[in-house]
Structure 1
Amino acid sequence: MRPFRHRRLTALAALSTMLVAAAPPTAAGAAEGSPRRDGYHRVGYFTQWGIYGRAFPVKKLDTSGAADRLTHVNYAFGNVSEDGRCYVDGGPGEGDAWADYQRPVPAEESVDGVADAWGEPLNGNFGQLAKLKERHPDLKVMISLGGWSWSTYFSNAARTDASRRAFVASCIDLYLKGNLPVLDGGSGGPGAAAGVFDGVDLDWEWPNWPGEPGNVVRAEDRENFTKLLAEFRRQLDAYGRQTRKHYALTAFLPANPAAMDAGYEGRKIFRYLDFATVQGYDFHGSWDQVTDQQSALRVPTGAPDNPDFSAEVAIDGWLARGAPRGKLVLGIPYYGRGWTGVTGGGDGLFKPATGPAPATFEAGYEDYKQLKTLPGKGFTVHRDLRAGHAWLFDGTTFWTYDDPAVVFQKTLYIRRAGLAGAMVWSLDGDDDNATLTRTISAGLATR
């Protein structure tokens, strides 16, 4: 199979290079296309809950070949308490300590083939990540804090000098020093998770901007986000001097220019960040009344919204606000957004729909590994090569998604724009051969 894969990627490279070269100039497109001397970041989010319905244990990062092709794994997520602390709680909706570090992982799911025993200090996903790092010593693992559901109290944590100091100290104690609480599962204890995590990823969605209903939002979030980063950098460096290690600090940033202005002080935040990942998806979805793209590289011709979102709009937005292109990592989805009840004929794009498409876990949201099976089952693949997006349509149901051709085109855009690399949400959406991760690796290979 390897010669076929090589021929396929070579053809994709030739086609995509012509498309990128023919694209209209933008702030991002003005960069030189020479490879980065220090290589590209290849960041993948591993979801805490993926071990359940998606049957995606940490071991699959090893057996699929993904771990060999990633530089960072972001563990999603760590929670923030109402009083502004990092914490682990087994309560419904508050956390899953069982998945994190209590669950005895059976031999068939274990990275090294050795089963966990009940009550060991470090079981679960954390224990498996430690084993994965032993097998892949160059791989960095980050604890990602917040996310859509757990950003509720970030504003409380960031509000004052005292709250910021306490919050950062609690996160370092819990995740870097590894002092896990001993809950009903028996696992945990002082230093139980020491060495698992190599840094902190802040996924605050969003400072001074609406996110999930119920989130605490304050106008001063914008300035406080910068101050929070400064405090993280200060304490991470202080702890790193003790352990003789650099602890990375990253952040997930929005694609919406209005949210950029409301919540972030542009250039200032990059003084403290090793790099930042930029949302490159969820531009549209079944919350819209018409079908559309959720992750196009560029705004398609004929798009019903003006202005509209795209990966290029997001990157150009951050560059215009002073972000160094060498610290921007473009987000790529391993899932699609879908509609059903589509009318109007044609290829289905920009057509009225009645609601979200049926899917495995959430209506209107489906993993790439499922969508890749639809061609030949009544669905036809359509592409907009200039805009850099693809979709599936069977006359009634429409899915917008990234397949290997789109992903490869985006890697060439990353190279040409002089960006820092690619991030993916989330690794459990890929197939068992890590096809999309392998595509990113091939596209960002330094040469």
Structure 2
Amino acid sequence: MRARDSAGNASAASPTLQARTASPDSGGDGKRVIGYFTQWGIYGRDYQVKDIDTSGAAAYLTHINYAFGNVRNNRCEVGVTQPSDPNTGAGGDAFADYGKAFQAAESVDGVADTWDQPLRGNWNQLKELKARHPGLKVLISLGGWTWSRGFSEAAKPANREAFVASCIDAYIHGDLPVTDGAGGPGAAAGVFDGIDIDWEYPAACGLSCGTPEDRENFTALLAEFRRQLDAVRPGLLLTVAVGAGIDKIEVTDPAQYAPYLDYINVMTYDFHGAWDPVTNHHSALFAAEGDPSTGVQATYNSDAAIRAFLDRGVPASKLNLGIGFYGRGWTNVGGANNGLYQSGSAAPGTYESGIEDYKVLAQLGWSGFTDADAGAHWIYNGTTFWSYDDPALILDKMAYVEAMGLGGAFFWEFSGDDADATLVKTIGQGLD
């Protein structure tokens, strides 16, 4: 902006200002659009917080979940920088969180970090992003696949109050261990607007297995988080990410824990993948005719998961549908049925066998197929099969969100999208 006097003289231009509105670019009917930003994505994937802004994604978002915070030794562990060990749950990256100094060209506000800033790294960039997009909320997600091992012990009656207090201190009060000159009391205050519990999985198995006591302790843990968050100030968010398999849902008590939560992210993806000996839909919306799955796996679809929560008394408005910004794939797949329900093995992927980003799959140019009844999409080149959500299918899923009265949608995770944030924008436009 410039000011002009009556003679036509103009002032110097002000700094760039951005305002975020509810319409047309972001869930104008109040639906949530939530994206996961990964701590490690700033390295090989080269996806920075600034990209959320420059791609145009930020204008469509209501919330960002930062993945992940570790749960170790009955506390929220921060300030650690060491490679993750899936066998023990050890690991952390304080450098990425709040130590890395971003240069001006990498920074959301265009200003380079200085050596003596108490808050640098991704968390300072998220704080800058919030300043550019008022109303955008950021949550810390605790656990995830690799760092959920500590939840079962931390949630026990003898440990849960102190555990929750440690999380409040670190992420809400912002009291961080000093490392590399960053951190200190209150250093991260104002970054996080709440806490997301991503325990994979209470009373069931993820990378490690829970215990029967987790069922009761999970609900009690959420009650304790709610109590302590409310004691800090009203309006702080408490959410969970939960497994979408019926076997994960039925061993917990959604009707009892839902009242403590602002919303529930139902992870309606990874229903099938290269761990299965035959190809299948990894994120089907409905049950698929002809699906050879048996037992509980025959119920692995998004609608069955959502209805399982509704049947247990959870309000639809508290449920968010999950979208994966990646595909699950097999290779050495025969041509019958365009590759669907055929034997195969894990397809090569950029970072891991059997998985590939949407931005890569969208550029392959292979023949695409849709199971309209199941609400599922795949591509197949005669040998390799990838199941993933394309924009057309995402629009169908957003129509489902609207029809079911759900609270919104969330996705894993930003770096899987293309440079134009096509999938983020599709979600946002689908919920207008």
TM-score w.r.t. the length of structure 1 is 0.87
Letter of the 2:279 counterpart = T
1:333 paired to 2:320:
no
5 Å matches for 1:202-213?
202-213=197-208
Counterpart for residue 92 of structure 1: 83
The alpha-carbon distance between structure 1 residues 364 and 119, as it changes in their structure 2 partners (threshold 3 A), is farther
Contact 2:246 2:299 in 1 (8 A): no
How far, CA to CA, are the matches of 2:156 and 2:318 in structure 1? 26
**How far off its partner does 1:218 sit?**
1.9
1:175 paired to 2:171:
yes
Q: Over the residues paired in the alignment, what is the CA RMSD in angstroms?
A: 1.3
**How far off its partner does 1:268 sit?**
0.8
1:440 paired to 2:431:
no
Q: Deviations over 1:259-306 (max 9, x none)?
A: 1121x1120111100000001100000001111000011122111114
Counterpart for residue 164 of structure 1: 160
How far, CA to CA, are the matches of 1:60 and 1:85 in structure 2? 28
Counterpart for residue 243 of structure 2: 254
Counterpart for residue 105 of structure 2: 108
Q: Deviations over 1:137-173 (max 9, x none)?
A: 110000000000000010111001x411101110010
Contact 2:335 2:383 in 1 (8 A): no
How far, CA to CA, are the matches of 1:163 and 1:284 in structure 2? 36
Contact 1:86 1:167 in 2 (8 A): no
**How far off its partner does 1:37 sit?**
9.0
Counterpart for residue 32 of structure 1: none
1:357 paired to 2:347:
yes
Q: Deviations over 1:7-51 (max 9, x none)?
A: xxxxxxxxxxxxxxxxxxxxxxxxxxxxx9961011110000111
Identify which of 393, 396, 401 aligns with 2:383: 396
Contact 2:265 2:319 in 1 (8 A): yes
**How far off its partner does 1:86 sit?**
3.9
Q: Deviations over 1:54-91 (max 9, x none)?
A: 11000000001111101000000000112344433112
How far, CA to CA, are the matches of 2:225 and 2:122 in structure 1? 25
Aligned residues: 397
Secondary structure of the residue that 2:102 maps to in structure 1? coil
**How far off its partner does 1:386 sit?**
2.2
The alpha-carbon distance between structure 1 residues 383 and 436, as it changes in their structure 2 partners (threshold 3 A), is same
How far, CA to CA, are the matches of 2:78 and 2:213 in structure 1? 24
1:198 paired to 2:185:
no
1:271 paired to 2:266:
no
Secondary structure of the residue that 1:292 maps to in structure 2? coil
How far, CA to CA, are the matches of 2:261 and 2:300 in structure 1? 25
Secondary structure of the residue that 1:188 maps to in structure 2? strand
**How far off its partner does 1:254 sit?**
1.1
Counterpart for residue 138 of structure 1: 135
Q: Deviations over 1:283-330 (max 9, x none)?
A: 000001111000011122111114231111110111112211110001
Q: Deviations over 1:361-411 (max 9, x none)?
A: 111111111110011xxx211111221111010000000000000100000
Find runs of 4+ consecutive structure 1 residues off by over 6 angstroms.
none
How far, CA to CA, are the matches of 2:214 and 2:194 in structure 1? 23
Contact 1:367 1:430 in 2 (8 A): yes
Counterpart for residue 359 of structure 2: 369
How far, CA to CA, are the matches of 2:28 and 2:152 in structure 1? 38
How far, CA to CA, are the matches of 2:194 and 2:414 in structure 1? 19
Identify which of 394, 397, 401 aligns with 1:410: 397
The alpha-carbon distance between structure 1 residues 168 and 83, as it changes in their structure 2 partners (threshold 3 A), is closer
Unmatched 5+ stretches in structure 2: 1-26, 85-90
5 Å matches for 1:29-48?
39-48=30-39
The alpha-carbon distance between structure 1 residues 312 and 196, as it changes in their structure 2 partners (threshold 3 A), is same
**How far off its partner does 1:119 sit?**
4.1
Higher relative contact order (CA 8 A, sep 6+): 1
Contact 1:78 1:88 in 2 (8 A): no
How far, CA to CA, are the matches of 1:249 and 1:88 in structure 2? 23
Letter of the 1:75 counterpart = Y
Identify which of 216, 229, 245 aligns with 2:222: 229
How far, CA to CA, are the matches of 1:42 and 1:119 in structure 2? 35
Contact 1:336 1:368 in 2 (8 A): yes
**How far off its partner does 1:345 sit?**
3.4
The alpha-carbon distance between structure 1 residues 40 and 61, as it changes in their structure 2 partners (threshold 3 A), is same
Unmatched 5+ stretches in structure 1: 1-35
Name whichever of 381-390 and 326-335 sits farther off.
381-390
Letter of the 2:398 counterpart = T
Percent identity at matched positions?
Answer: 53
How far, CA to CA, are the matches of 2:108 and 2:290 in structure 1? 48
